[in-house]
Structure 1
Amino acid sequence: MKLHLSPPPNTLINSDIEITGSKSETNRLLLLRAIFPTISIQNLSNSDDAQAMEKGLKVNTGEVDIHHAGTAMRFLTAYFASQAGKEVVLTGSKRMTERPVQVLVEALQSMGADIQYLKDHGYPPLVIKGKELTVNKVSLPANISSQYISALLLIAPGLKNGMELELVGKITSVPYIKMTLGLLTQIGVKNSFEGNTVKVGPKLSVGPMEVVVESDWSSASYFYSIVALADIGTEIMLSAYKKNSLQGDSVLSEIYEQLGVETFFEGNRIRLSKISDQKPATLNLELSNTPDIAQTIAVTCFGLGIGCYLTGLHTLKIKETDRLEALKVELSKLGAKISVSDQDLTLQPSPKIKSGVAIDTYNDHRMAMAFAPLALKTSILINDAQVVTKSYPDFWKDLDTLQLGIRTV
């Protein structure tokens, strides 16, 4: 599906949008519910990733195909490895078979797991024969994707001896680790995070409880971008959000304040308000804790005609696509002057945006959604626009309420 987006008749926007539960929280809670079935979950994410995770957890034997769901690949690898009697082949899309999983597999094998590679060493598909894991001390490099770390921490309460995880080196993506530990605390699992050591105690059972998933801050980022690119006076209401969020991407409220967007917490909603056109000539940010919002920020800065220097982006190389290279290619099409390395992005201020450019999305939901706000500045085409279903199936419907000219071509 290709969509043509054009500027609204009035770039003073007012809208009220409800965003479903966080994909990150949902996938963590789904795994915990599989271990402790007495947990019930409200406001689940309706994303493809969450559905792949939920479906995969129901399998006892045979093939589990998680398609493009990277989180599900990491979490299910750990889950099935720790479930005695379950035997699966865990696989996914072609891109998924190119995304490394060796670090997690080796960590699990050091705990006694039975995991073999079906094809290429270090990559899915994986043959996993579940067994009781009794070794409780394990280590991982601290600078890897937090999903590897969370995968281990989430299975820890179901292990006889719990887990002591040592993170070797400088830790990145701390908010996602803290999110996992926060959810464990919420269901009554004892844990600690001191220095580079994380400890999670075992728990035999959890009493009946209901957990409500907060709405997704990563999804909110696209509306922050829209408000930043719109006229002063624009307001968008989003629900449901918490002021003391477990999600690292909630730092959006601080980042976009530098771009004229104020965030007001009102009950379980946030009101995004464009209060100023003042902005820095160049936005400098270290995003190792929140790499998923890098694409949105880079596109926002381009749309505002300012530069940005974004660092701490080393994990973007192994996402749905190489996101740094993809950003460079697509922003360059629009007239941007941009350079990238293995871990940073430099964008020069650019006064002009080319019109009618078709943006390729690389099977990456965030490429489609990050570029969509540019429709406030120029007409733009989004190729394979349906990729948004991976994390935010209602994105185009919600965007349509802003009176952008969205049509299928």
Structure 2
Amino acid sequence: MNITLQKSQIANSQSKITITGSKSESNRLLLLKALYPSINLENVSNSDDSCLMTDALKSTSNVVDIHHAGTAMRFLTAYFSIQEGREVTLTGSKRMKERPIQILVEALQELGAEIEYVENSGYPPIKIKGKKLTKNRVSLQANVSSQYISALLLIASKLENGIELTLEGEITSVPYIKMTLSLLDEIGVESSFIGNIITVKPNTQNSTPNTLTVESDWSSASYYFSIAALCEVGTEIILSSYKENSLQGDSVLVEIYKSFGVETTFENNTMTLVKSSIANCQSSIEFDLANAPDIAQTIAVTCFALGLACNLTGLHTLKIKETDRLVALKTEIEKLGGNVNITDKSLHLSASNTIKEYVPIATYNDHRMAMAFAPLALKTPIVIEEAEVVSKSYPTFWNDLESIGFKITK
């Protein structure tokens, strides 16, 4: 389904949006609930990824297909490795079979797991024979995807001797690692993160009944930060439910979007975005997004829409997402009239005051491509191809945009 976003404006000066739980927190907690059934969860994400995670954890089949859900692939690889006596083949979409899993598989094998590749070495699908793991020491390069690290930490308390994980080199995506450890702490699992060594102690007891409320998703909030940045001074957007001291790495949006004239306040689990001034007048904006790569697309499009140059670094993980997001950003922004240079870990956008109308934006089976480009409708009419892809993380996105004044036709 392709949709056209006509040139729009926010319907009134104060718009309210409710966003469901964080996909990142939800998928971690869903796995922990499978390990500790007494946990109760509220405000779980309604995203495709979290629904797939839920279904996979309940499945009794010996083949589990997680489609495009990369987080689920990583977390479930670890989970099924410790399900004693069960044999599962974990597979996914064509793109998922192109996304590497070798680093995690080798780490689990180092702990004693039985995993083999079904088609291509280093990539899904994989066959896992669940067993009791007694080894507890493992090392990973510190700059790998935090999902590999979190996958190991999430199952660690159910290993006979826990885990001592050594991260070699400079650590990236620290907020996501700390999120995992904080959630473990909330259910009573002891851990430590000292220097480059993370230790999780074994927990043979089932955790006491505990109700955990998932904070709303900051990655989804990023599109409203972009919208606020492109609006007139005085526009307010109210989002719920958000915490000022969030576990989510993408909460750096609060600081980043000050450069675009957006101020953020918190009260009673709601977050209010106010366009308080024109965007920062410096000629080029620079951000290191190593700890929050999922908001790179949003920031790049915001800068393009405002005619600002930007240099975004720390983006090495974007090449192995739903698509190669760096190539996709370059292609689509240049179709709109921009000029982008990329390396394997950075993006450089030149300042431009030209935005072409009615350009069809390809989404590459990537939910974030669709949502990141949507705010451009505040500047010019735009077409989003395969718009239904947003269901991966934010199924009600288009309805929510309409509710605040965006004009959308199918």
Please classify the TM superposition score into its range, dividing by the shorter chain length.
over 0.9
What is the match of residue 194 of structure 1? 194
What do you get for the CA RMSD once the two structures are aligned? 0.9
Q: State TM-score, norm by structure 2.
A: 0.98
What is the match of residue 126 of structure 1? 126
What is the match of residue 7 of structure 1? 7
Q: State TM-score, norm by structure 1.
A: 0.99
> Any conservation in 2 of the 1:61–1:86 contact (CA below 8 Å)?
no
> Any conservation in 2 of the 1:11–1:231 contact (CA below 8 Å)?
no
Output aligned runs, 1:137-286, within 5 Å: 137-204=137-204, 205-279=206-280, 280-286=282-288
Aligned mates of 1:122, 1:10 — CA distance in 2:
47
User: Match of 1:158, SS?
Assistant: coil
- Letter aligned with residue 220 of structure 2: S
> Any conservation in 2 of the 1:163–1:199 contact (CA below 8 Å)?
yes
1:14 to partner: Cα distance: 2.5
Output aligned runs, 1:1-400, within 5 Å: 1-8=1-8, 13-204=13-204, 205-279=206-280, 280-400=282-402
User: Match of 1:159, SS?
Assistant: coil
User: Match of 1:41, SS?
Assistant: strand
- Letter aligned with residue 284 of structure 1: E
1:266 to partner: Cα distance: 1.1
**Cα offsets for 1:86-136 (capped at 9, x unmatched):** 211100000000000000000001111010100000000000010001000
Aligned mates of 1:14, 1:124 — CA distance in 2:
46
Aligned mates of 1:146, 1:226 — CA distance in 2:
29
**Cα offsets for 1:316-337 (capped at 9, x unmatched):** 0000000000000000000001
Aligned mates of 2:92, 2:29 — CA distance in 1:
22
Aligned residue pairs total 408
1:61 to partner: Cα distance: 4.1
- Letter aligned with residue 81 of structure 1: S
1:59 to partner: Cα distance: 2.4
> Any conservation in 1 of the 2:358–2:381 contact (CA below 8 Å)?
yes
Shifted more, 305-314 versus 279-288: the winner is 279-288
1:62 to partner: Cα distance: 1.0
**Cα offsets for 1:176-207 (capped at 9, x unmatched):** 00000000011111000011100001112100
- Letter aligned with residue 217 of structure 1: W
> Any conservation in 2 of the 1:60–1:88 contact (CA below 8 Å)?
no
> Any conservation in 2 of the 1:11–1:376 contact (CA below 8 Å)?
no
Shifted more, 312-321 versus 279-288: the winner is 279-288
> Any conservation in 2 of the 1:13–1:402 contact (CA below 8 Å)?
no
> Any conservation in 2 of the 1:13–1:230 contact (CA below 8 Å)?
no
> Any conservation in 2 of the 1:12–1:233 contact (CA below 8 Å)?
no
Aligned mates of 1:64, 1:383 — CA distance in 2:
29
User: Match of 2:67, SS?
Assistant: coil
Shifted more, 106-115 versus 59-68: the winner is 59-68
Shifted more, 127-136 versus 275-284: the winner is 275-284
Q: Structure 2: where are the runs of 5+ without partners?
A: none
- Letter aligned with residue 117 of structure 1: Y
1:27 to partner: Cα distance: 0.2
Aligned mates of 1:9, 1:361 — CA distance in 2:
23
- Letter aligned with residue 323 of structure 1: R
- Letter aligned with residue 245 of structure 2: N
Aligned mates of 1:224, 1:244 — CA distance in 2:
18
Q: Structure 1: where are the runs of 5+ without partners?
A: none
> Any conservation in 2 of the 1:307–1:349 contact (CA below 8 Å)?
yes
1:13 to partner: Cα distance: 4.3
Identical columns (%): 62
Aligned mates of 1:63, 1:350 — CA distance in 2:
50
**Cα offsets for 1:382-407 (capped at 9, x unmatched):** 00000000000010010111211101
Aligned mates of 1:38, 1:327 — CA distance in 2:
43
Shifted more, 52-61 versus 329-338: the winner is 52-61
1:12 to partner: Cα distance: 6.0
> Any conservation in 2 of the 1:60–1:86 contact (CA below 8 Å)?
no
> Any conservation in 1 of the 2:160–2:202 contact (CA below 8 Å)?
yes
1:166 to partner: Cα distance: 0.5
